[in-house]
Structure 1
Amino acid sequence: MPRILAPLLSAATYARWLHLVIGLVFVGVVLMVYPGIEGWSRGELLARAVPVDAALLGLAALVPAMRRAEGVQARLLLVPDRERDIAVEPSRGWADRRRTAAWLVGRVLLGGLVGWASVLVPAAAFDLVARPEQAVFGLRPGGTGGAGGPGWAPLLAPVLLFALGWLVVWAGRLQLAMAVRLLGPSPAERLAAAELRAERLLERNLLARELHDSIGHALTVTVLQAGAAREVDDPVFAAEALEVIEETGRRAMDDLERTLALLRDPGDQGDHGRGEDARERPGIDRLPALFETAGAAGSPVDARVDVPAGALPGVLSREGYRIVQEGVTNALKYAPGEPISVRIAVRDGSLELRCANALRPNAARAHGGAPARSGGSPRRGGKGLRGIRERAVLLGGEAAAGAESGEWVLTVRVPLRLGG
């Protein structure tokens, strides 16, 4: 019983009822103008009014703002579960105009039917109660209408009202379904919204990777230097460690400012007036400073960079730097004090990067588990290796990481021509 009565007591039902009755108001106004309500039968009125209504509604649908107005009204009165299912944008093409015209015609037809029922059914229910002998099957006073007589006629009144209530409930639900279908976002709008969501997701992932790579590297170097300075009772070494910490922190602050600049508007010049310069990110040419920092942290780097000047597009240079930075950071974190080997070269139209360090016991698991390639699912891959794989895949390449002959080896290969 509650499931039967609940829709009849819902505020949404009566809001949708009002939305439906507006259709009857439109039909009534048109009938008063043409052909008039005097001297015509009900069938003749409908035959003449329907074509006129459809023509007027079709002309109204040509106005781009009509779709927006109908969308706003539908959101307010039809009470959708999700407002974004009904668009509030003006028509952008003929497809939107056709859908708006279909919505207007369907809305007025359905609203007219429910509106007439909303007028006739309560009147019939009143007659059943007040004049049962005239309201039921042509009964006359004296009960000549057959079995039951007019005595049971008033019992039909609540049945009619109950039926009207459920007619309004189902008509409101049908009207909402029509609004979602005809006023909802068009395929082009859905595609644009999906592209916008994907772009925002990529931006968030980019910010997360930038922060993880730059700040994570700085914190790793800082912790190693601070720990070594505390263990070694040598003022000269402590001073050098503090110098490395200071320089690393300064670079981390620069990287943080560049990352935060991605959140600003393109025209924002920032607090220091640096503008677009704040967006520049380090490239392959900044690797020597990275290697010096790693060496100062106790892990000498044997680097060989065989990349001709100007051979790398800017995005490859920047992403290559971040990939190498993450590889060096992992080596410092999981194998501190072990030499690091870095090889970067351009071969066969691709940029190849290799970062290796000697493994310590249980280092493979710390690094991220079993060997994993882009597209696979490592057993315990960390955010750093996952970020490297994502960078490689977005550049059209591949990445692999795992233990090889007593070393942890990270290899990345990406084409020089993006998308090729």
Structure 2
Amino acid sequence: MPRILAPLLSAATYARWLHLMIGPVFVGVVLMVWPGIEGWSRGELLARAVPVDAALLGLAALVPATRRAEGVQARLLLVPDRERDIAVEPSRSWADRRRTAAWLVGRVLLGGLVGWASVLVPATVVDLVLRPGTAVFGLRADGADGPVRAPLLALVLAPVLLFGLGWLVVWGGRLQLAMAVRLLGPSPAERLAAAELRAERLLERNLLARELHDSIGHALTVTVLQAGAAREGGDPEFAARALEVIEETGRRAMDDLERTLALLRDPADQGVPGVPGRGADGDRDARERPGIDRLPALFETARAAGSPVEARVDVPAGALPGVLSREGYRIVQEGVTNALKYAPGEPISVRVAVRDGSLELCCANALRPPSARSHGGSPRRGGKGLRGIRERAVLLGGEAAAGVESGDWVLTVRVPLRLGG
């Protein structure tokens, strides 16, 4: 019983009823203008009004703003469960205009049907109760055609008619909502564009997450190692040097964090001169991100953390595209960070070279003996850092591999110099 009565008591039902009644109001206004409501039978009025209404609605659908207005009205009065199902954008194509025209005609026809019933049923109930001689479905309320008496007939038929009208409004509103989702909802092209936009934003978020993981993760690893070494060393000079490294590493991490947060600002600010972004002045931020030329400073930081670094960078000046230089730096940075984290104090070997049209990066470090490994010093098995490296390599059209080789942990990455080629 509650499931039957709940829709009749819902505020959404009466909001949709109001939306449905706009249709017959429009038809009534048109009829009063032309051909008028006097001197015509009901059939003649319909025969003349339908073509005029359809023509007016078709002309209205040609106006791009009509689709937007109908979408806003449908969202407010049809109370959809998911508002995204009904668009509030103006018409951008002839397909949108055709769908808008179909919606306008359909809502007027459906609204006319519900509006006619909304007038007829209450009037019939009033006649049934107050005018005993009224015939309803072949029965007279005064019982002239049978043994049914007026009070009993009114008691039975009046609630049934009102209940039927209520459910006609419920189903009319639901049908109207389904029509709105179908005809005012985003087109397949719009849905595809929206999906592509969501995928692009997700990709951007993943890129930003990798930037934060690599830069801040490296800074925290170096900071923890330096602080621990300074505390246990007992040498004031070494402690002062450790503090210098911590300060410099923290400053670089703050710079990286500021650049990353700049990318999260309102997209409307992108491209405005003087505002960090990726528009007309946006390449400045990209150039400020560290590239291959900043690797010596990275290696010095690792050495200061207590891990000897043997590095060979064989990359001619200007040989790398900017994005490849920046991503190459992040890959090497993550490799060095992993070495510091999982094998602190062990030698690190780094090779960066351009060969056969590709950028090759290799980072290797000796594994700590099993007896010297702590819980955090166990071999890596595909954490977020390695997954981020693989994602960077794939996005650049290359490949990455990591694993144990001859007692060393070896990370190798190879990406083509011609992106997308």
TM-score of the two chains, using structure 1 as the length reference? 0.89
Cα distance change, pair 40–64 in 1 and its aligned pair in 2 (3 A): same
Q: Secondary structure at the match of 1:133?
A: coil
Q: Shift of the alpha carbon at 1:107? A: 0.5
Distance (Å, rounded) in 2 between the aligned partners of 1:344 and 1:289: 15
Q: Shift of the alpha carbon at 1:402? A: 1.7
Q: Shift of the alpha carbon at 1:380? A: 5.3
1:149 matched to 2:146: yes
Distance (Å, rounded) in 1 between the aligned partners of 2:88 and 2:124: 40
Distance (Å, rounded) in 2 between the aligned partners of 1:151 and 1:94: 59
Cα distance change, pair 139–255 in 1 and its aligned pair in 2 (3 A): closer
Q: Shift of the alpha carbon at 1:19? A: 0.4
Distance (Å, rounded) in 1 between the aligned partners of 2:286 and 2:334: 22
Distance (Å, rounded) in 1 between the aligned partners of 2:8 and 2:267: 53
Q: Shift of the alpha carbon at 1:88? A: 1.1
Contact 1:338 1:358 in 2 (8 A): yes
Alpha-carbon displacement from aligned partner over 1:225-265 (angstroms, at most 9, x marks no partner):
11111111222222222222222222222222222222346
Contact 1:259 1:279 in 2 (8 A): no
Contact 1:345 1:352 in 2 (8 A): yes
Comparing 353-362 with 318-327, greater Cα deviation is found at 353-362
After superposition, residues 62-211 of structure 1 pair within 5 angstroms as 62-139=62-139, 149=146, 151=148, 157-211=158-212
Alpha-carbon displacement from aligned partner over 1:295-348 (angstroms, at most 9, x marks no partner):
111111111222222221110100000010000000001100101111122223
For structure 1, which runs of at least 5 residues remain unmatched after alignment? Answer: 368-374
Alpha-carbon displacement from aligned partner over 1:171-205 (angstroms, at most 9, x marks no partner):
10010011111111222322332232222222222
Cα distance change, pair 41–362 in 1 and its aligned pair in 2 (3 A): farther
Distance (Å, rounded) in 2 between the aligned partners of 1:22 and 1:265: 40
Q: What count of residue pairs does the alignment treat as equivalent?
A: 408
Comparing 4-13 with 86-95, greater Cα deviation is found at 86-95
Comparing 375-384 with 211-220, greater Cα deviation is found at 375-384
Cα distance change, pair 383–152 in 1 and its aligned pair in 2 (3 A): farther
Q: Secondary structure at the match of 1:411?
A: strand
Q: Secondary structure at the match of 1:132?
A: coil
Cα distance change, pair 243–39 in 1 and its aligned pair in 2 (3 A): same
Cα distance change, pair 94–294 in 1 and its aligned pair in 2 (3 A): same
Alpha-carbon displacement from aligned partner over 1:65-100 (angstroms, at most 9, x marks no partner):
111111111111100111121111111121111111
Cα distance change, pair 21–268 in 1 and its aligned pair in 2 (3 A): closer
Distance (Å, rounded) in 1 between the aligned partners of 2:379 and 2:289: 29
Cα distance change, pair 379–354 in 1 and its aligned pair in 2 (3 A): closer
Identity of aligned residues (%): 92
Q: Shift of the alpha carbon at 1:216? A: 1.1
Cα distance change, pair 304–165 in 1 and its aligned pair in 2 (3 A): same
Comparing 95-104 with 401-410, greater Cα deviation is found at 401-410
Alpha-carbon displacement from aligned partner over 1:381-402 (angstroms, at most 9, x marks no partner):
3221121121112112222222
Contact 2:142 2:150 in 1 (8 A): no
Distance (Å, rounded) in 2 between the aligned partners of 1:299 and 1:315: 29
Alpha-carbon displacement from aligned partner over 1:85-133 (angstroms, at most 9, x marks no partner):
1111111121111111111000000000100010011111222222344
Q: Secondary structure at the match of 1:182?
A: helix
* Alignment root-mean-square deviation, CA: 3.5
Distance (Å, rounded) in 2 between the aligned partners of 1:229 and 1:81: 60
Contact 2:142 2:149 in 1 (8 A): no
Comparing 228-237 with 1-10, greater Cα deviation is found at 228-237
Q: Shift of the alpha carbon at 1:137? A: 4.5
Distance (Å, rounded) in 2 between the aligned partners of 1:267 and 1:23: 40
Distance (Å, rounded) in 2 between the aligned partners of 1:267 and 1:165: 48
Contact 1:294 1:332 in 2 (8 A): yes
Contact 1:128 1:154 in 2 (8 A): no
Contact 1:365 1:380 in 2 (8 A): no
Aligned to 1:34: 34
Contact 1:133 1:139 in 2 (8 A): no
Distance (Å, rounded) in 2 between the aligned partners of 1:80 and 1:239: 65
Q: Shift of the alpha carbon at 1:364? A: 13
Cα distance change, pair 79–285 in 1 and its aligned pair in 2 (3 A): same
Contact 2:342 2:380 in 1 (8 A): no
Q: Shift of the alpha carbon at 1:58? A: 0.3
Cα distance change, pair 277–363 in 1 and its aligned pair in 2 (3 A): farther
For structure 2, which runs of at least 5 residues remain unmatched after alignment? Answer: 272-276
Cα distance change, pair 280–191 in 1 and its aligned pair in 2 (3 A): farther
Q: Secondary structure at the match of 2:73?
A: helix
Alpha-carbon displacement from aligned partner over 1:330-387 (angstroms, at most 9, x marks no partner):
00011001011111222232222111111125699999xxxxxxx9999953221121
Comparing 235-244 with 153-162, greater Cα deviation is found at 153-162
Cα distance change, pair 82–265 in 1 and its aligned pair in 2 (3 A): closer
Contact 2:143 2:150 in 1 (8 A): no
Alpha-carbon displacement from aligned partner over 1:139-186 (angstroms, at most 9, x marks no partner):
56xxx9999826356666211111111111001001001111111122
Contact 2:342 2:378 in 1 (8 A): no
Q: Secondary structure at the match of 2:387?
A: helix
Cα distance change, pair 243–378 in 1 and its aligned pair in 2 (3 A): closer
Q: Shift of the alpha carbon at 1:289? A: 0.8
Contact 2:74 2:180 in 1 (8 A): yes
Distance (Å, rounded) in 2 between the aligned partners of 1:163 and 1:381: 64
Q: Shift of the alpha carbon at 1:413? A: 1.6
Cα distance change, pair 12–266 in 1 and its aligned pair in 2 (3 A): closer
Cα distance change, pair 128–366 in 1 and its aligned pair in 2 (3 A): farther
Comparing 307-316 with 358-367, greater Cα deviation is found at 358-367
Contact 1:136 1:150 in 2 (8 A): no
Comparing 339-348 with 56-65, greater Cα deviation is found at 339-348
